[in-house]
């Protein structure tokens, strides 16, 4: 190990290094605050000026991160949010946490990774560690990011040190935060691996080095493919068991009493969030380049993608049976727009597809979500931007022909919802504890 590498490693261990994080979203901002909490000085980079301005004004745009946390970090000089990427030259480690969405044909969209690399390369200097945390397919770090970073003469393994460490954030999970989740690390050579491990050793409960960046990239995909496939299985079982008059939720509750050989997964109205609906298709794309098909993964994606249509079908049948009416002209209250409970994150939420399907069939759709007072603009459903959550009241609830529970936030009064609704379609088993209302609750 050279003296320069040893010095960089020591700066991580004594926390004198300055850490730069690119992307101040659901991954980058918690990562910044974790470094701050462990005593590091940080710079947070983002191309979105509104995020930087919000942070400077003590405002948090992520529901589970209080504005006070960022305000304190900024006021104490441990966190500088900025859009000025020339400041990259002043940091010792650069952690890239940018989106990796899908394109129109479900192919990987690595434009954010590419543009980030091109943006920072002119300002990089020798002796910096660069870690990509964005979820992607094996080979991205070495085949796409590395050549961009080397364009100005720096060489990976000699002048700069490149690694991959997949993010494992679970927004809103009270049991796990960045510091308490083990971190997988794969480097472009032993020095990069050593440096990345030394860095993350300072902030997380455990660091797990693997032999290459490709292995680390595959770890993240494997984790989320595992979830996607198992969720697809219980979604399919839900449809089958419903035809037999069997409650899938009761089945799962009983099955999980087995102390070995079983892990509970739960059905829903479709997949949401930035990971599970997207990540499996990154491997599908990469596998085709090696002449392999991912039939199991694609089947799971097909099943999960069909769930919003299935839910709307259940709603339509329930309306016809209860009142003889059709979805056309019906007024529907959608409960929960966020993709998961107790957060304001709407990325890839199945609620958007539910709204789209119902409105295409002539329904009038409103929504209530205490975490999402106004709908943000999204690439796929831009027409919904600006819609506002209705005020919660028994009188408002009673106006609708049906309420459809998409997201089961904890602080929603489900008893009040069921009491004042003509019909409730429950996709999350949120009403399971209520007694005496089975006549107007349909599980879907």
Report the alpha-carbon distance of residue 168 to residue 220 in Å, rounded.
Answer: 8
Residues 348 and 438 in one domain: yes
C-beta of residue 155 within 8 angstroms of C-beta of residue 189: no
Find where tokens 């996607």 sit. 228
Residues 60 and 191 in one domain: yes
Q: Confidence class of residue 1 from pLDDT cuts 50, 70 and 90?
A: low
Average pLDDT over residues 271-298: 90
* 257 in a structural domain: yes
Which of 211, 246, 266 is at the close of a domain?
211
The answer for residues whose C-beta is within 8 angstroms of residue 147's C-beta and 6 or more apart is none
* 222 in a structural domain: no
Residues 305 and 199 in one domain: no
C-beta of residue 128 within 8 angstroms of C-beta of residue 158: no
- Listed residue (123, 168, 98, 113) closest to 146, CA to CA: 113
5 has pLDDT over 80: yes
171 has pLDDT over 80: no
Structure tokens belonging to residue 214: 């490709």
Average pLDDT over residues 417-439: 90
- Listed residue (52, 20, 30) closest to 116, CA to CA: 20
Average pLDDT over residues 142-167: 96
Domain holding 283, by residue range, is 227-443
* 285 in a structural domain: yes
Name beta bridge partners: 402: 332
Structure tokens belonging to residue 415: 């008893």
- Listed residue (303, 383, 371, 307) closest to 342, CA to CA: 371
Residues 392 and 338 in one domain: yes
Average pLDDT over residues 391-413: 96
- Looking at residue 103, its pLDDT comes to 86
Distances (CA, A) of 435 to 126, 263, 335: 66, 28, 20
Find where tokens 């129109």 sit. 104
Residues 204 and 254 in one domain: no
* 253 in a structural domain: yes
Residues 17 and 95 in one domain: yes
C-beta of residue 234 within 8 angstroms of C-beta of residue 266: yes
Residues 130 and 258 in one domain: no
Residues 251 and 357 in one domain: yes
Which of 177, 211, 245 is at the close of a domain?
211
- Looking at residue 370, its pLDDT comes to 96
For 197-212, write each residue's pLDDT tens digit.
Answer: 999 999 999 999 999 9
Residues 326 and 401 in one domain: yes
* Three-class DSSP labels, the chain: CCHHHHHHHHHHHCCCCEEEEECCCCCHHHHHHHHHHCCCEEEEECCCHHHHHHHHCCCCCCCCCCHHHHHHHHHCCCEEEECCHHHHHHCCEEEECCCCCECCCCCECCHHHHHHHHHHHHHCCCCEEEEECCCCCCCHHHHHHHHHHCCCCCCECCCEEEEECCCCCCCCCCCCCHHHCCEEEEECCHHHHHHHHHHHHCCCCCEEEECCHHHHHHHHHHHHHHHHHHHHHHHHHHHHHHHCCCCHHHHHHHHCCCCCCCCCCCCCCCCCCCCCCCHHHHHHHHHHHCCCCCHHHHHHHHHHHHHHHHHHHHHHHHHHHHHCCCCCCCEEEEECCCCCCCCCCCCCCHHHHHHHHHHHCCCEEEEECCCCCECCCCCCCHHHCCCECCCCCHHHHHCCCEEEECCCCCCCCHHHHHHHCCCEEECCCCCCCCCCCHHHEEEC
Active site residue 275: yes
Structure tokens belonging to residue 403: 């309420």
* 221 in a structural domain: no
434 has pLDDT over 90: no
* 389 in a structural domain: yes
Q: Tell me, what CATH number does 285's domain have?
A: 3.40.50.720
- Looking at residue 329, its pLDDT comes to 94
Residues 174 and 98 in one domain: yes
Distances (CA, A) of 195 to 146, 148, 435: 17, 21, 57
In angstroms, how far is CA 138 from the centroid of its own chain? 19
Could you report how far apart the first and last alpha carbons of the chain are, in Å?
A: 59
Report which of residues 42 and 4 the model is more confident about: 42
Task: Determine what percent of the chain is predicted with pLDDT higher than 70.
Answer: 99
Which of 150, 182, 211 is at the close of a domain?
211
* 220 in a structural domain: no
* Number of domain units in the chain: 2
For 314-353, write each residue's pLDDT tens digit.
Answer: 999 999 998 888 999 999 999 999 999 999 999 889 999 9
- Looking at residue 437, its pLDDT comes to 65
Catalytic residue (one of 275, 412, 423, 425):
275
For 216-264, write each residue's pLDDT tens digit.
Answer: 999 999 999 999 999 999 999 999 999 999 999 999 999 999 999 999 9
105 has pLDDT over 90: no
277 has pLDDT over 70: yes
Residues 388 and 289 in one domain: yes
C-beta of residue 231 within 8 angstroms of C-beta of residue 339: no
Average pLDDT value over all residues in the chain: 94
- Looking at residue 174, its pLDDT comes to 79
* 219 in a structural domain: no
Output the CA torsion sign for 18, 19, 25, 29. negative
Output the CA torsion sign for 143, 146, 149, 151. negative
Exposed, middle or buried by CB within 10 Å (0-12, 13-18, 19+), for 42?
Answer: buried
Residues 382 and 254 in one domain: yes
């Amino acid at each position: 190990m050279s003296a320069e590498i040893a010095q960089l490693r020591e700066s991580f261990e004594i926390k004198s290094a300055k850490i730069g994080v690119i992307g101040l979203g659901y991954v980058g901002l918690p990562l910044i605050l974790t470094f701050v909490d462990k005593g590091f000085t940080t710079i947070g980079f983002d191309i979105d000026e509104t995020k930087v301005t919000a942070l400077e004004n003590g405002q948090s745009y992520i529901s589970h991160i209080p504005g006070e946390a960022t305000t304190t970090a900024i006021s104490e000089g441990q966190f500088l949010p900025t859009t000025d990427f020339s400041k990259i030259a002043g940091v010792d480690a650069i952690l890239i946490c940018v989106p990796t969405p899908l394109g129109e044909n479900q192919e990987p969209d690595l434009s954010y990774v590419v543009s980030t690399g091109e943006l920072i390369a002119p300002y990089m200097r020798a002796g910096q560690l660069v870690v990509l945390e964005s979820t992607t397919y094996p080979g991205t770090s070495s085949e796409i990011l590395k050549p961009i970073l080397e364009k100005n003469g720096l060489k990976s393994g000699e002048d700069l040190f490149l690694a991959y460490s997949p993010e494992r954030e679970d927004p809103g999970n009270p049991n796990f935060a960045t510091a308490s989740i083990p971190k997988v690390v794969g480097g472009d050579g032993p020095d990069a691996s050593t440096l990345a491990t030394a860095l993350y050793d300072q902030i997380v409960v455990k660091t797990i080095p693997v032999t290459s960046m490709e292995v680390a990239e595959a770890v993240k995909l494997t984790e989320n493919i595992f979830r996607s496939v198992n969720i697809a299985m219980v979604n399919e079982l839900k449809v089958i068991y419903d035809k037999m008059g069997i409650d899938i939720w009761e089945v799962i509750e009983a099955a999980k009493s087995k102390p070995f050989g079983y892990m509970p997964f739960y059905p829903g109205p479709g997949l949401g969030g930035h990971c599970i609906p997207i990540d499996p298709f990154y491997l599908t794309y990469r596998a085709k380049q090696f002449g392999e098909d991912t039939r199991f993964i694609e089947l799971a994606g097909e099943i999960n993608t069909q769930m919003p249509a299935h839910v709307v079908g259940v709603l339509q049948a329930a309306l016809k049976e209860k009142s003889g009416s059709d979805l056309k002209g019906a007024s529907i209250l959608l409960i929960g727009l966020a993709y998961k409970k107790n957060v304001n994150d709407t990325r890839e939420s199945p609620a958007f597809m539910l709204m789209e399907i119902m409105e295409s069939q002539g329904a009038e759709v409103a929504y209530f979500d205490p975490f999402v007072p106004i709908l943000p603009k999204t690439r796929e459903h831009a027409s919904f931007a600006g819609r506002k959550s209705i005020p919660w009241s028994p009188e408002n609830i009673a106006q609708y022909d049906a309420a459809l529970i998409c997201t089961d936030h904890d602080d929603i009064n489900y008893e009040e919802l069921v009491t004042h609704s003509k019909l409730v379609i429950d996709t999350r088993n949120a009403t399971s504890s209520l007694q005496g209302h089975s006549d107007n609750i349909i599980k879907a």
